[in-house]
Structure 1
Amino acid sequence: MFLEIVTPEAVLFSSKVDSFSVPGIDGEFQMLNNHAAVVSVLKEGTVKIHMNTLEHLKMDVMNKYLEAHIVDDKILTLAIKSGTIELKDNKAIILAD
């Protein structure tokens, strides 16, 4: 699936991913490939992006926003204050603050 994370200032992330989890208003939830369509509000928390490999990413551009997970370096994390997510046809867009 394809994930794009956008703020009013910049596109923070744009790449194919294996899965990701987001901080929903009723708790964290995960999106997998071929997930049903979703539109949801997000609260303050961490977006966790699960990737098979990080080789194709330009991490120098994303370093100030994304961090490797403490336990697994194939999981990237991004702290958000709030946002919305839309997932449809294996393309997800997170509008984050």
Structure 2
Amino acid sequence: MYLEIITPDENVFEGEVESAMFPGSDGSFQVLNDHAPLVSSVGKGDVKILRLHDKKTEEIHFSIDGGVVEVLNNKILVLAESIGE
């Protein structure tokens, strides 16, 4: 599935992923391939991405300061307020 994370200032991440975990407003949630359509707010916290890289699973983390996530047809779009350091 394809994931894109953008802020008002930059395109932070773009690429194929195996799964993504988000800090939802009411608790964290995970998105896997063929997930049902979804629109949700995300709170401040850690975004955890798993992707296959050179036949190995790679784990990537971003600290997000809130925003919105949309899941539709194996594409995840995250509109983040900002990405923390």
Q: Same fold (TM over 0.5)?
A: yes
Q: Structure 2: 5+ residue runs without aligned partners?
A: none
CA distance in structure 2 between the partners assigned to 1:2 and 1:75 by the alignment: 15
Deviations 1:31-74 (A, max 9, x none): 00000000000000011000111x5xxxxxxxxxxxxxxxxx71
2:63 to 79, 85, 90: 79
Q: TM-score, normalised by structure 1?
A: 0.79
* Runs of 4+ in structure 1 over 2 Å off: none
CA distance in structure 1 between the partners assigned to 2:28 and 2:12 by the alignment: 20
Partner residue in 1 for 2:23: 23
CA distance in structure 1 between the partners assigned to 2:26 and 2:7 by the alignment: 22
More strand by share: 2
Amino acid of the residue matched to residue 78 of structure 1?
F
Partner residue in 1 for 2:7: 7
Q: TM-score, normalised by structure 2?
A: 0.89
Q: Structure 1: 5+ residue runs without aligned partners?
A: 56-72
CA distance in structure 1 between the partners assigned to 2:75 and 2:10 by the alignment: 18
CA distance in structure 1 between the partners assigned to 2:37 and 2:59 by the alignment: 23
Amino acid of the residue matched to residue 40 of structure 2?
S
